[in-house]
Amino acid sequence: MSKFIPNKNSSISSQLNSGTSKALEPESISRSNPHKSNAQHKSNAQQNQNRQPHLLLLKRCRKGTEQTFGRLKSFSSKLFERLGGSKQLYHHYWFWLGLGVTGGAIALGWGAYALEKSLPDSTTDVLTYIRDDTITIKASDGKIIQQTGSATRETLKIWEIPEPLIQAFIAIEDRRFEKHHGVDFQGVIRAAIANLMARDIVEGGSTITQQLARIVYFDQERSFVRKLKEMRMAQKIEHDLDKEQVIERYLNLVYLGSGAYGIADAAWVYFSKPISELTLPEMAMLAGLPPAPSVYSPFVNEKAAKNRRDLVLERMQQNGQITEAQMEEAIATPLNTKRSNPKRLEREAYYFTEYVQQELPKYVPQETLGKKGLIVETTLNLDWQHAAEAAIDKTIKNNGRYQRFGQAALVAIDPRNGQIKAMVGGKDFQDLESNNYLNRVTQTKRQPGSTFKTFVYTAAISAGISPNRGYLDAPYIVDGYEPKNYSDNFRGWTSIRQALIKSINVVALKSLIDIGWEPTIEIAKKMGIESKLYSTYSLALGASEVNLLELTSAYGTLAAQGVHTKPHGIERILDHQGNVIYQEQIQHRRALDEETAAITTWMLRGVVSSGTGRAARIGRPVAGKTGTTDEARDLWFIGYIPQLVAGVWLGNDDNKPTRGSSGTAASTWRRFMVEAIEDLETEPFPQRPNKIEGREAVIKAKPIRPKRVIHKKYPKSKSATKSRSNYRRTASTSTRRRRRRVSTPRKTTKPVSRQVRQNRAPRQSAPVRRRTAPRNTAPRQSAPVRRTAPKPAPVAPKPAVVPAPRVTSPSKPSPVVAPPAPPAARKAPAPTTKVPATPPEAPASRAGE
């Protein structure tokens, strides 16, 4: 550390060169070098001053300051001696007067500073102001469909406001509006004198700008401080905005009584007409309301309202805004009010707006909901909403009474982005007696019936099963559960495509057993079903309850070629200044491969073209599925085109049976879609893949292993025989009509049968070949047994022909095929107990269509 300690000689030179403080003064130099001469000291000091001239300047300034204060002290002492004489200074009145004036000036300055600091720096809120606790809900085109809170429903521009109306407000509220700069001191004095002479409040001292400042920034508290703030804020508003902006915002925000905010709403509330149709007396009446709307309202005190109106007319005549003849004519006119509810209380799409309000807390914190005016931009298409409401109303009116259903619901979704375009949750939202605040689209869950078969067959296609795969439609009991078809008839061997088109329950159940509960439920969940699904045999027929929104959204996955998008009704949420609080982030999820979606859509198109959904045809490609639950308690149709998917439900809130059919729901769907597709171009569905046989499985089937399966004897009734004959023929409508024309009694000769076969269309032979195979092999199985009999036995009845067994059926061969055992070898059948493999099933279901 010795190298950092300077010697005596280097210490002085370093301090001189560094220019640091007092180390450069001559006295310090002499103390550090006592052996040097005085001449040397002076020489060094002179050199230091020459090197640092700022030190010399500082010294001179200090000396000049001391001289100045000395002179002021001498002058003040002489002045006090001359003024005070022998008295002390505080004995003079002028001392206290000056002290008071000085203190008052200081206090006034401090108060003005504090007042200015307490006010907003900007006046931009004036142009964007919306009252607290106000929510404005808009449709996709920007039209307001609902407002809650103290909101102005209709905002006007200055050129939309009639000039006489503006003049009327200025005449009675602020006659010097064009001349002052926010505060009219002349008006304050004039109003005080006028009110004193009239012994009543006949004129206000606040300008229109002050009233606007009070509306936007302050409450209705009556205090001197609030009045000062109001006056100062009015001056700031006038500095930033022009007169037209001030009067426009004031007329749109002022409260005019009876729930009306703004002149447009007031014109509707008091006269049931738009502002452009108001007469001069009506304008004058509105202009007289702001000071005390509850006092001057014609609905409260008609006489006071008329007197106030006449005063406004007189002021307008005094200002030269109207002639005396116009004034007299207007005064002679009665009020002629016609009351209506405020427009802010009116709304459209009741069920949808209720749904939006229930969804808001999911996206916005509760404290934000209570702040100034939120603006909610939604996905609703108003034209489609009106079409949906009209379709529901017409169905209830035309069909509800004799088909005994009292409620209906409809929802439409854009499958490409999940936007809810229309929602009707009941027949009449305002009918409180029928519990119509209940939204049957989102808040109720019902059994979907046969509409759920779509998910069963979609899972089958995903597992690589061909739509041409056949199953035997015949009486069938599995673990005690026996499904029945809607028509009580059976069709024999049927492909799963035809089973979907004709809504055959037995085939749907057998398909579910082959695929398994887990894969089917997984597919349904991926497609958009959110409700809990139960692993029961009745799942195939729609026993697990769902709501209309999720069911329609799941069908939208097929319309979007296997891509699911969660449905939503809120697009954006903004604050009153236009800042975005929430923006919907659309998330697409691949639920199905494109080939599976295309094949399923192809199958569902057959439902509409030639199956149970024929009532939904609209002149362009449509895919969909009908559904009916036991005793027609629920009537469904879910259908789609590439751009839009819609679902319809009909029924009763108390779950009473109806006398309707799913065809009524399909007709309702058609009635809505005919209106909606006017704005949509015709788009084709994706082509079905050429290869539908032997496709590679996308999911793995997990077949159910029932504990007990009973294949009942195939009925040979007339209807059953006809059903088997129908299966051999094509499913086209034209072929069935030809079959009816050539039908004859059962004892028709063979030539007639050949003629019938000649008239048939080429049949789909795959299922028939599978059916004929066991007929040829069954006799060969029993022949060796009969040859080994020791004695000729009585001729046994010919074994019943057993159809080809289902591929995945684990049941044992029917005992009818094998010959009866000798009596001694027979054993008594063991008692059987039904042990369900799943939770107890519902009674035998006849759900269909």
Question: What type of residue is 810?
Answer: P
- Tell me the three state secondary structure of residue 563: strand
- CB atoms under 10 Å from CB of 279, counted, come to 14
Question: What type of residue is 836?
Answer: P
Tell which residue, 177, 242, 240, has the closest CA to residue 210.
177
Tell which residue, 546, 568, 552, has the closest CA to residue 669.
552
| DSSP string over 337-385 | ------GGG--S-HHHHHHHHHHHHHHS-HHHHTSB-EEEEE---HHHH
- Distance from C-alpha of 241 to C-alpha of 246, rounded to nearest angstrom: 7
Token pair, residue 55, equals 């030190």
Cα 569 to Cα 359, 392, 708, 801: the distances in Å are 9, 20, 48, 58
Contact 556, 464 (CB under 8 A): no
**Residues recorded for the chain:** 849
> Catalytic site residue 140?
no
Cα 385 to Cα 6, 309, 379, 530, 642: the distances in Å are 95, 43, 11, 25, 19
Sign of the alpha-carbon torsion through 479, 481, 483, 484:
positive
> Catalytic site residue 450?
yes
Strand-pair category, 374-378 with 407-414: unpaired
- Distance from C-alpha of 125 to C-alpha of 245, rounded to nearest angstrom: 13
| DSSP string over 597-654 | HHHHHHHHHHHHHHSTTGGG--SS--EEEEEE-GGG-EEEEEEEETTEEEEEEEE-TT
Backbone angles phi, psi at 481, to 5 degrees: -100, 125
Which residue among 154, 173, 282, 522 is the active-site one? 173
Question: What type of residue is 278?
Answer: L
Contact 164, 280 (CB under 8 A): yes
Which residue among 206, 258, 450, 462 is the active-site one? 450
- Provide the 8-state DSSP code for 257: S
Contact 450, 626 (CB under 8 A): yes
Backbone angles phi, psi at 259, to 5 degrees: 80, 10
Report residue 230 CA to chain centroid gap: 40
- Distance from C-alpha of 696 to C-alpha of 706, rounded to nearest angstrom: 26
Backbone angles phi, psi at 179, to 5 degrees: -105, -35
Those residues with Cβ within 8 angstroms of residue 371's Cβ, 6 or more apart along the chain or in another chain? 132, 575
Q: What's the half-sphere exposure (Cβ side, CA atoms, 13 Å) at 763?
A: 17
| Element at 409 (helix H, strand E) | strand 407-414
Tell which residue, 363, 370, 351, 385, has the closest CA to residue 140.
385
Contact 558, 604 (CB under 8 A): yes
- Provide the 8-state DSSP code for 481: B
- Provide the 8-state DSSP code for 175: T
- Provide the 8-state DSSP code for 4: G
Catalytic residue numbers read 173, 450
